[in-house]
Structure 1
Amino acid sequence: MNYFRTAMLLAAMTALFMGIGYMIGGQSGMMIALMIAAAMNVFSYWNSDKMVLKMHHAQEVDERTAPELFRMIRQLSANADLPMPKVYLINNPQPNAFATGRNPQNAAVAATTGLLDMLTMEEVAGVMAHELAHVKNHDTLIMTITATLAGAISMLGNFAFFFGGNRDNNNPFGFVGVLVAMIVAPMAAMLVQMAISRTREYAADRMGAEICGQPLWLASALSKIAGGVERIHNPDAEHNQATAHMFIINPLSGERMDNLFSTHPNTANRIAELQKLANAGLGGGGYAPRQEAPQRASHDGPWGGARQPSKPQRPKGPWG
């Protein structure tokens, strides 16, 4: 079913490309758009994960540079019966995280330094379990391809402004078609993102709670992340808005409501669902964070070795 949904998404995106191309340049424009769409589909399948990580300046870490985070994800991956994904950190004060990759064998999970600063070890475990749930559900492929193609569709709409409406390009709709392409293209891309993201978040919350064994860890994390996102601006996310649906909570300003035009469910509703799982008896298993403060293996991570807890008596995250 996941592969079928992916195929349907690619077909819908291709049809949208062709329709916009027809509005801009008639049949010749439609064929050009079809070739561009086919190339984008192939390129997105193999490279969209790398593009998204690069957009957000993610840096890969390992057991030497981020020992506790790396070990945590390794144990959670074992709980989920998944291969160990690549682990990335994003030097950004906004607390957030996402997963990407075309399949579990080529997956990556990324967390911001703000997430590690603001959340406890247990809460980070809940977040990373949620991201691994996306990997296990094969959500990462469809979400990553959508992010890439949505950005391309929006650029095609902008392209229409500069090159559409010319009587010599066999455009059957003239300037009206160009205006429709400019407005419909980004709107359609946005609606596709919304459609695929919201139901997936609830499913990933539930499976993430099962992977880490404690629904309330994720519930507490979501509350803190939502508060941090409201206060802290994320320039990379604002510049690459087509990737917003990939994050555990929308990183953009001004999108907090659970309505038709939201890429994510309302955070309070997600927390309520997790509390129901806890009340139903889910908990008591899964990941068990170490209680002792571990020896830091290295200060050469992407945070430049400057990350030290302000209150040593309270561990702030999986880094010790």
Structure 2
Amino acid sequence: MFKTFILLASLTALFAVIGYALGGPTGATVALVMAAGMNLFAWWGSDGMVLRMHNAQPVTAAEAPQLYRMTQDLAERAGIPMPALYIIHEDQPNAFATGRSPERGAVAVNTGLLDLMTQEEVAGVVAHELAHIKNRDTLIMAITATLAGAIGFLAQFGMMLGRGRENRPNPIAMILMMILAPLAAMLVQMAISRAREFEADAEGARICGDASWLANGLAKLERGKIGHVNQTAEANPASAHMFIINPLSGLRMDRLFATHPPTEERIARLMAMGGPRRPAPANPASPWSTPAQRNPWG
């Protein structure tokens, strides 16, 4: 959390430096006000915005009884309230979590994931998302994405913050700022996202009780996304870091600036944790105490 605080502070500082370089003290002040506004917006509205962006549909215990019971049981293990549960009708297997606090948490799961995985693997993925909510990663990542996007906006439209016609920055420096500032923000965003994925994997394994469930789920997700382009994610790449694996196709420069660590490394770390860390639930109705089934959410 200390590292994350430093990284977020560096994004805010970068925002102020760009403002000062483009508009002097006035520009720095405007940039800091913008940063504060972006932070407030991310705090209050980012969860609903990203759910609407991906056409997530809320589901109840009556509509998805097994998935709901599974999530409820895992949330109890994690020591957090039951999050709101959403289904995204998308063939690419994936999932993400959002919400500014555990009390406002939400988990969204693609139908492609539910069609592909066993109940144990779904449990591992859901546990990973609950770990993000428990660690408040969802708020951190939303603020980071908002600030990173705002830095790019500020760099591109920095001429509006000019100090006057006779004292504007060197045009070459302006061009360099337009290129390097968004790149620096992207690198900080990547550092935050990649670090939190490893933490969520480890905590998710502890929540579900068996690291192999999540490891096997990650392997299936990586294979399953081949040939399935998530058009909504491609149109909104700023939300890519919220998913459990990168939803982008890699047709542009997505691999160069990946917000997720390599899936192979994540799987290796999980398998190094060993076997089950806690006994299986005693409740015979628990979804993962029954034989593995396909599409366990209905």
The alpha carbon displacement at 1:249 in A equals: 0.7
The alpha carbon displacement at 1:82 in A equals: 1.1
Mean CA deviation greater in 126-135 or 268-277: 268-277
Extract unaligned runs of 5+ from structure 2.
Answer: none
Distance in 2 (alpha carbons) for counterparts of 1:156 and 1:57: 29
Distance in 1 (alpha carbons) for counterparts of 2:166 and 2:244: 44
Say whether residues 1:315 and 2:287 are aligned partners.
no
Say whether residues 1:39 and 2:34 are aligned partners.
no
Aligned to 1:134: 132
Amino acid at match of 1:225: L
Aligned to 2:177: 181
Say whether residues 1:249 and 2:245 are aligned partners.
yes
Q: Note the alpha carbon deviations across 1:43-66, whole angstroms, 9 max, x for none.
A: 212222222222222222211232
Amino acid at match of 1:179: I
Distance in 2 (alpha carbons) for counterparts of 1:245 and 1:169: 42
Tell me the percent identity.
53
Q: Note the alpha carbon deviations across 1:146-204, whole angstroms, 9 max, x for none.
A: 122222222223323x7477852843x23123212211222122111211122222221
Extract unaligned runs of 5+ from structure 1.
Answer: 293-313
Flag the 1:5–1:107 CA change in 2: closer, same or farther, 3 A. Answer: farther
Q: Note the alpha carbon deviations across 1:240-259, whole angstroms, 9 max, x for none.
A: 2222222111111229xxx9
**Match 1:13 to one of 11, 14, 23:** 11
Amino acid at match of 1:131: E
Aligned length: 292
Q: Note the alpha carbon deviations across 1:53-101, whole angstroms, 9 max, x for none.
A: 2222222221123222222111110111111111112221111111111
Aligned to 1:229: 225
Aligned to 1:53: 51
**Match 1:168 to one of 160, 165, 169:** 165
Say whether residues 1:282 and 2:280 are aligned partners.
no
* Contact 2:148–2:186 (Cα < 8 Å) also in 1: yes
| Partner SS for 1:89 | strand
Flag the 1:58–1:169 CA change in 2: closer, same or farther, 3 A. Answer: farther
Distance in 2 (alpha carbons) for counterparts of 1:275 and 1:128: 18
Q: TM-score, normalized by length of structure 2?
A: 0.88
Amino acid at match of 1:130: H
Distance in 1 (alpha carbons) for counterparts of 2:99 and 2:87: 16
Aligned to 2:80: 82
| Partner SS for 1:315 | coil
* Contact 2:88–2:110 (Cα < 8 Å) also in 1: yes
RMSD: 2.6
**Match 1:108 to one of 106, 124, 148:** 106
Q: TM-score, normalized by length of structure 1?
A: 0.82
